[in-house]
Copies of this chain bind each other. A is one copy, B any other.
Amino acid sequence: MMQHGGNIYKYAKELDCEPGEIIDFSSNINCYAPDMQIDCSSRLVTKYADSNYPELKSAIARNYKTASENIALYNGATAAIYALLASLKGKEVTLYAPLYGEYEKAALAAKKDIYKINRIEDIDTEVAKKSIVVFVNPATPEGSFYDLEELFLLWKKKKCTIIVDESFIEFEKHKSLKNQIDDYKKLYIIQSFTKFYACAGVRIGAVFSHKKNIRSLHTPLWNISSFDALFLKQRLEDAAFKEASHTTHKEQKEQLQTILKESGLFDTIVASEANFILTQSSHATQLFEHLLAHKILVRSCESFDYLDNSWLRFAVKDNAAQEKLKKALDAFA
């Protein structure tokens, strides 16, 4: 069962080819990934970094219009998820499913009791008082963006601890809940920087919360690579990157939607407000194998709650990759 996208290495072995030959529609990395010159001299890493990473935090704070004191940094968003769930005292975790699979694993590792709400069919299911609620917005695996205003009021009324994962929020400039962290002191926003900023090999993720919460998180000493900190700071400060990303994303998503639709192979194509498109097809398993034979890897979604292997997800990719997808889909008989 495919638990994560991006494992081109496993499939390259199967196909007996180089990982770089596989076109990876399975990992949701921004398709606009311009080359960037960074001065990563080996001198940069001789000394210990300031374990508080003040320059990177300032750049993140400016980018998201918050303060450095509201930010905790981790070795990737997944590390942030595990650390946050381990540190929260509540026993009950309510997951709005389907969602990114590491939340359930992290809740289990933290010995929490897990409750699931099917956000697609029964989003208004009542939440227990003081539960820790987890919502990914835009949601995985389909990319719906939810207006959380009403739910947020209900959660607050029940004194819930709220975790909202906004790792995909920047692709379509949706409204973040980060501006609420000073008002509601039990709100935590999780953010991966690797998706929108096109750097999966850079391991930096954040928790945004009230500064008192951040202080009590006790992030591990020196958990960020100095190279990674420099890279992310530089990319965050590149305004042209953001503009070009939004334009490219919009164009390429439309192209991908058209390709999927015109192929006639899918019973369902879910409208997305993120950089991936979820589909359902009665031929999904054959399609997965067919595309793989064309060295195209897609995300099979049977690891998500309420979904099965008839669901395939395609990340928005660049023009060349999507043209190859089109040809491969056309060749499916």
Contact = CB atoms under 8 A, between A and B. Distances in A.
Interface of A: 4-9, 19, 24, 27, 29, 33-38, 40-52, 54, 75-76, 78-79, 82, 102, 198-203, 220-228, 231
B75 A203 contact: yes
Nearest to A203: B225
Copies in the complex: 2
Query: Which 6 pairs, one residue from A and one from B, show the smallest C-beta to C-beta distance?
Result: A201-B226, A45-B201, A6-B48, A227-B227, A225-B225, A9-B50
22 contacts: A6-B48, A7-B48, A8-B47, A8-B48, A24-B47, A27-B48, A33-B42, A38-B40, A44-B201, A47-B200, A49-B201, A75-B75, A79-B220, A200-B222, A201-B225, A201-B227, A202-B225, A202-B227, A203-B222, A225-B227, A227-B227, A227-B231
Nearest to A45: B201
A209 B308 CA distance: 38
Contacts of A29: 46-48
Nearest to A8: B47
Contacts of A201: 44-49, 225-227
Contact of A228 (B38, B199, B225): B225
A221 B100 CA distance: 14
Contacts of A75: 75, 79, 203, 220, 223
A157 to B, nearest CB: 34
Given A220-B78, A221-B4, A227-B228, A36 B42 contact: yes
A107 to B, nearest CB: 15
B42 A199 contact: yes
Contacts of A199: 42, 45-46
Contacts of A200: 45-49, 222
B226 A202 contact: yes
Contacts of A202: 45, 225-227
B35 A78 contact: no
Nearest to A6: B48
A318 to B, nearest CB: 11
Nearest to A221: B78
A135 B313 CA distance: 49
A242 to B, nearest CB: 16
Contacts of A5: 48
Contacts of A76: 220, 222-223
Nearest to A226: B201
Given A79-B223, A203-B224, A203-B225, 13 more contacts: A4-B221, A33-B46, A34-B42, A35-B42, A35-B43, A44-B201, A75-B79, A76-B223, A78-B220, A78-B222, A201-B226, A225-B227, A227-B228
A333 to B, nearest CB: 31
B47 A38 contact: no
A223 B207 CA distance: 17
Could you say which of A42, A45, A75 has the most chain B C-beta atoms within 10 Å of its C-beta?
A45
Contacts of A51: 7
Nearest to A3: B221
Q: Which of A33, A34, A82, A228 has the most CB of B within 10 A?
A: A228
A198 B78 contact: no
